[in-house]
Amino acid sequence: MPHELIPSPRRVAEIPPAGLYVLDDETLIEAGPGTEGVARWLRATVGAATGLPLQPGDDSDNRIALSIDPAVERQLGPEGYRIVVDGHALRIHGGSAAGLFWAAQTFRQMLGPDAFRRARVSPRREWTVPCVVVEDAPRFAWRGVLLDVARHFMPKDGVLRYLDLLAAHKLNVLHLHLTDDQGWRIEIERYPRLTEVGAWRARTKVGHRASPLWDERPHGGYYTKDDIREIVAYAAERHITVVPEIDVPGHSQAAIAAYPELGNTDVIDTTTLSVWDTWGVNPNVLAPTDNTLAFYENVLTEVLELFPSPFVHIGGDECPKEQWKASPAAQARMAAEGLADEDELQSWFIRHFDRWLAERGRRLVGWDEILEGRRQGGSLAPGAVVSSWRGLAGGIAAARAGHDVVMCPEQQVYLDHRQAAGPDEPVPIGYVRTLEDVYRFEPVPPELTQEQAAHVLGAQANLWTEVMETQQRVDYQAFPRLAAFAETVWSALPASGARDHADFERRMDAHYRRLDALGVDYRPPGGPRPWQRRPGVLGRPIEGAPPIV
């Protein structure tokens, strides 16, 4: 039986005789122990879209029965689920509350695209789903999306909207890139200038950094602590973990602009620095001083109070060494610590926070540069996680060293990269990564043994926002490719070349209507709509096929 579900489940089978199960104003929700959150979500979301009351009750055949079933957990794992629609009831069983919630996402898709609206648009009082059994479970535990709110700030409501979009695609990690050279986006009470100064830049480069165009309006914003608490709570209700990123020791000019003593004051006059208004790799990095370490320990103390995530990302990438080479203070630190070069100094900086986080029961996550410069002073803590972004090689090296890995190679799943060749793509960046290219992304390199491959926690699609200044631009770059990515990290797909892309495209025909109902400004299959193009804005296209590195 063909189905139109995305991501594709492990098993869908008709229950004979084939037919439809009808939901109407009399349909009840029977919520077993531990299912109350999913029942609440169904009433608030599906109930609003369908107009069905979905009152609580358990004494009718006309009901949606929710349960957490240990047998499902044993067979399919905690995020697994089973849906049984047999004409007598609609039974949804999860291996845990999370598995039950992913089942609710599948049920919503079965109802049709109008179930994705926020209010009822049809006068009909009956809704139908086919009589089937659906069994499903995810391939990976980490099914993530990075949202860069530092380069262009996304107001809180936009983040909440993206959490709903992640949930609709069974994605369960939101990596929030909160700090960078171009802005600091989280309130830290001990250091108010981080947001008073660091959250705002005077103007913004339009397009790639070689572009002659500027937006002369000030840009910025930040999340208060209550905003963060709301985002984290909203995510938790949808079984999504929010992983914060506080970038060190590079990508830190916004922090240095707010607190100049954090920079290499013996090399440059850091009091002249402002929040950076253009893109690229910035030479102004943190000074490796005790004051800097204490400052960021205090920052992270407040961050840990807001984010219950076991994972905390500290960046660790793209840290130019020129200022450290010229800094007597940095050279003195290297001599005191017995470090051979500036690469080892960066590793010393990362290891400090690795130990600091581990002592507090958290796991450091960093870009794959954290593997470098480790000759002196030992290696990363066993719990440290590597985000492999420069290709697959960093992830392969990390897995072979016994570290967990999140695969996010820029050549494959950086969704700021352009979706087609030709002049119509808005601000073309990077390689061409089509919907099919993303669909064929394989997170586990064949070079890994079975034991090493077990260290691949999953994968992540990254949305860097240098040239995505609005929600509409983020939508365009994310969708429909994020739907393809969701299937690659959820579904048990065959090898990359053997995947049935034609069937995926067939199912996407239905999924586009769901995205329409959700108000997503996605890229149509035939190319951008006229208002989605941005002629005259310089990009940075890279020609040819991306290398596998």
Positions marked active-site: 180, 251, 318
Helices (H) and strands (E) in the chain, counts: 19, 25
Q: How far apart are CA 102 and CA 99, in angstroms?
A: 5
Beta strands in 227-324 (DSSP E): 241-248, 311-315
CA distances for 194 relative to 29, 98, 122, 177, 280, angstroms: 48, 36, 49, 15, 21
Q: How far apart are CA 97 and CA 237, in angstroms?
A: 10
Question: Are 547 and 411 within 8 A, CB to CB?
Answer: yes
Helical packing angle, 156-168 and 225-237, nearest 10°:
10
Based on its alpha-carbon atoms, the radius of gyration of the chain, rounded to whole angstroms, reads 24
Residue 128 dihedral angles phi and psi, to the nearest 5°:
-130, 150
Burial of 71 (0-12, 13-18, 19+ CB in 10 A): exposed
Residue 177's contacts (CB-CB under 8 Å, 6 or more residues apart) are 146, 147, 148, 149, 150, 245, 247, 464
Token digits of residue 303: 């961050």
Residue where the block lists tokens 């109407």: 24
Question: Are 398 and 405 within 8 A, CB to CB?
Answer: yes
The residues that bridge with 13 in the sheet, in sequence order, are 133
CA distances for 65 relative to 32, 90, 173, 198, 409, angstroms: 8, 6, 28, 50, 41
Q: How far apart are CA 34 and CA 390, in angstroms?
A: 42
